[in-house]
């Protein structure tokens, strides 16, 4: 009887005892993967925004006034700085998660989102400074030309 109780006790301990977790089953692993994808998406959007502002600067240099060119050039500088800082923040987020500092990682992710929004505002300011395309009027006033040949003019035969 004592042996049966001992075996039952050992079996229940084995069933209830936690098993060793594998590296890919760590708590927060999905949060780390989500952070990585969030960083990658933010950087891709920010690079695209920076390229758009660069195109606006080319347009301003072709058709714009000196103040327009200056405005878009400043916006491009700020946009490029935001992209560089976002790359640094992305590295800092992943480093924080690597050492297990989840709170710091989340705080830096929020800072990355703020930086992305600040770049979007700078890009909209650049858009407002960019000279608009030349608009060609599509509706012309109709002009009627009437040709009358006098009967006194000889025919060319």
Q: Give residue-wise pLDDT tens across range 124-138.
A: 999 999 888 655 566
Cα gap 44→116, rounded to integer Å: 11
What is the model's pLDDT at position 13?
47
Residue 1, domain member (yes or no): no
Give the total number of structural domains in the chain: 1
Residue 139, domain member (yes or no): no
Cα gap 123→70, rounded to integer Å: 14
What is the model's pLDDT at position 137?
60
Average per-residue pLDDT for the chain: 83
- Which residues, 6+ apart, have CB-to-CB distance to 157 below 8 Å? none
Closest listed residue to residue 121, CA positions, set 39, 38, 49: 49
Encoded tokens for 137: 């009027």
Encoded tokens for 13: 């301990």
More confident residue, 10 or 33: 33
Cα gap 69→46, rounded to integer Å: 21
Closest listed residue to residue 74, CA positions, set 48, 47, 56: 56
More confident residue, 32 or 155: 32
Q: Look up tokens 């395309």; give the residue.
A: 133
Q: Around Cβ 49, how many Cβ atoms within 10 Å?
A: 20
pLDDT level of residue 2 (50, 70, 90 thresholds): low
Residue 144, domain member (yes or no): no
Residue 16, domain member (yes or no): no
Residue 51, domain member (yes or no): yes
Residue 117, domain member (yes or no): yes
Residue 4, domain member (yes or no): no
Residue 111, domain member (yes or no): yes
Check whether 30 has a pLDDT greater than 50.
yes
């Amino acid at each position: 009887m004592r042996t049966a109780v001992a075996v039952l006790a050992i079996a229940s301990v084995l069933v209830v005892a936690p098993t060793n977790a594998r590296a890919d089953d760590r708590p927060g692993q999905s949060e780390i993967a989500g952070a990585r994808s969030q960083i990658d998406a933010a950087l891709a959007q920010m690079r695209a925004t920076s390229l758009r502002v660069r195109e606006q600067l080319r347009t301003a240099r072709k058709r714009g006034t000196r103040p327009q060119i200056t405005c878009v050039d400043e916006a491009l500088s700020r946009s490029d700085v935001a992209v560089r800082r976002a790359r640094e923040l992305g590295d800092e987020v992943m480093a924080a998660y690597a050492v297990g500092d989840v709170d710091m990682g989340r705080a830096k992710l929020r800072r990355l989102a703020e930086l992305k929004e600040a770049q979007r505002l700078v890009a909209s300011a650049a858009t407002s400074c960019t000279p608009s395309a030349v608009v060609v009027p599509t509706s012309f006033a109709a002009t009627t030309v009437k040709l009358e040949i006098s009967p006194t003019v000889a025919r060319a035969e």
